[in-house]
Amino acid sequence: MITRVVDAGQAARARARMIERLRVQGIRDVRVLAAMQAVPRHAFVDEGLAFSAYDDTPLPIGYQQTISQPFIVARMIELLCAGRELGRTLEVGAGCGYQAAVLSRLAVDVYAVERLRPLLDRARANLRPLRLHNVRLKLADGSLGLAEAAPFDSIIVAAAALGLPAALKEQLAPGGRLIVPVGGADQRLLLVERQGNVFRESWFEAVRFVPLLGGTE
C-alpha cells in the first residue's frame, strides 16, 4: 500500500480551484459539483502524480489505463443526472475507484466492474478508507454489463465502444439513462434514454478514452 503524505489544506485549495474551473467550463449541477468537491482525487493517483491530481487532465493509473480528467467525469455524470436521480447505477471500468466514489454520493447503489484484477484490487484499496457502504466492486467483463444486478437506472462507461453494447442497452431500466463514449479514432459521448421499449439517442462532445475490451485478466 502506498502511504501518501499530502498537505490537507493544499489539497482542499486545489480541489476548490478544480470546482471553480468546472463551473467556468459549464458544469451547473450543484449535486455533481458537491460530489466532486467531497472526493479527494489525489488519494486515487500515485504519490508522484498527486501534485497534478486536480489539474484538468487524465492521469495514468497503470496497465495502459487512465483516470479521466475532472471535466469529463463531471460532464458525463451531469448528463446522467439531468432532472433526475441516478438511482441504481452501473459503472463499467472502475479503474482506480475515483468515479465510483463520486457516484456513491449521487446514487442509491453503485456497482462498479473492472476487467483487470490488479486495478480492481487498487480500487478496493483506494476506496476502503472512505467506507462507502453503497459501492460494490466486481471483476467482470464490462461489455457484458452485470446481469445479476440488473436492471440499472443509470449506466456509465469509462471506455470507448465501437458501438452501443447490446448487453448494456438490455440492462437499462425503463426511464433509465446510459452514457458511453463511442468510436475508434474519433469518439463522441452517446447518451441513451429508455422510454418504455423506445431508446432515444443523443450525441454530445468529442472525447478520448481507452478502448472498451472484453474478457478479464
What is the C-alpha separation between 91 and 103, in angstroms, rounded? 9
Whether the pLDDT of residue 5 is over 80: the answer is no
What is the C-alpha separation between 31 and 207, in angstroms, rounded? 23
- For cell 472512505, name the residue: 130
Active-site annotation holds for 68: yes
With residues binned 3-state (H G I as helix, E B as strand, rest as coil), the percentages for the chain, rounded to 5, are 35, 30, 35
Helix (H), strand (E) counts: the chain:
6, 9
At 9, the pLDDT band (50, 70, 90 cuts) reads: confident
The chain-wide mean pLDDT, for the chain, equals: 95
pTM (two decimals): 0.94
pLDDT of residue 6: 59
Looking at domain 8-207, which of 3.40.50.10470, 3.90.79.10, 3.90.1150.10, 3.40.50.150 is its CATH number?
A: 3.40.50.150
Average pLDDT over residues 134-149: 97
Percent of all residues in the chain with a pLDDT value above 70, rounded to a whole number: 97
Catalytic residue among 68, 104, 143, 154: 68
| Cell (9 digits) for 128 | 476502503
- Please give the radius of gyration of the chain, using alpha carbons only, rounded to the nearest integer: 16
pLDDT in tens, 104-124: 999 999 999 999 999 999 999
